[in-house]
């Protein structure tokens, strides 16, 4: 039987840059480790979140599971104060879009590895 916990894996070019970016964006880094000489880390958008995002180096994934290295999920984060989060992300990257109002308040941005994320809020 599946549990209520969910884990999403991201494959990136620079694990350290990603960890710094997400930490500065307000994510909780829950663990850091090394596997076969490659850094990896787990993070959550909130300490009580049931979703853990594990970040792996693409070079590591190419060695252990090359068939999935180019899989990129489409991730939508929901926030309570979209204006505040937008300002924080805009300070971290020049890839942050403006907030769109239709069909709902949303914006998107890319992390240091060029993976785009969406944010929906009020």
Q: What pLDDT shows up at residue 6? A: 84
Q: Model confidence over 56-114: pLDDT tens digits?
A: 999 999 999 999 998 887 899 999 999 999 999 999 999 999 999 988 899 999 999 99
CA angle 102, 108, 109 (to 5 degrees): 165
Q: Are residues 94 and 42 in the same domain?
A: no
Q: Which residue has the tokens 């969406």?
A: 118
Q: Are residues 68 and 78 in the same domain?
A: no
Q: What pLDDT shows up at residue 103? A: 81
Q: CATH number, domain at 79?
A: 3.30.720.110
Q: Are residues 53 and 83 in the same domain?
A: no
Give the residue numbers spanning the domain of 48.
Answer: 1-73
Q: CATH number, domain at 53?
A: 3.10.180.10
Q: Are residues 38 and 97 in the same domain?
A: no
Residue 122 has pLDDT above 80, yes or no: no
Q: What pLDDT shows up at residue 91? A: 97
Q: What pLDDT shows up at residue 2? A: 63
Q: Are residues 78 and 102 in the same domain?
A: yes
Domains contained in the chain, number: 2
Q: What is the average pLDDT across 41-60?
A: 96
Residue 63's closest CA among 19, 15, 11? Answer: 11
Q: Are residues 41 and 61 in the same domain?
A: yes
Distances (CA, A) of 58 to 69, 99, 102, 107: 6, 31, 35, 26
Q: Are residues 19 and 67 in the same domain?
A: yes
Q: What is the average pLDDT across 4-17?
A: 92
């Amino acid at each position: 039987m599946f549990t209520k916990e969910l884990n999403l894996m991201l494959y990136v070019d620079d694990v350290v840059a990603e960890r710094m970016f997400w930490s500065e964006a307000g994510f909780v880094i829950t663990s850091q480790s090394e596997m076969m000489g490659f850094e990896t880390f787990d993070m959550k958008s909130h300490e009580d979140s049931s979703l853990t995002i594990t970040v792996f180096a693409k070079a590591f994934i190419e060695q252990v599971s090359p068939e999935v290295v180019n899989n990129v999920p489409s991730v939508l984060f929901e926030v309570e104060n979209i204006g505040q989060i937008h300002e924080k992300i805009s300070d971290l990257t020049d890839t942050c879009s403006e907030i769109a109002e239709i069909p709902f308040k949303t914006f998107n941005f890319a992390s240091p590895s060029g993976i785009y994320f969406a944010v929906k809020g009020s």
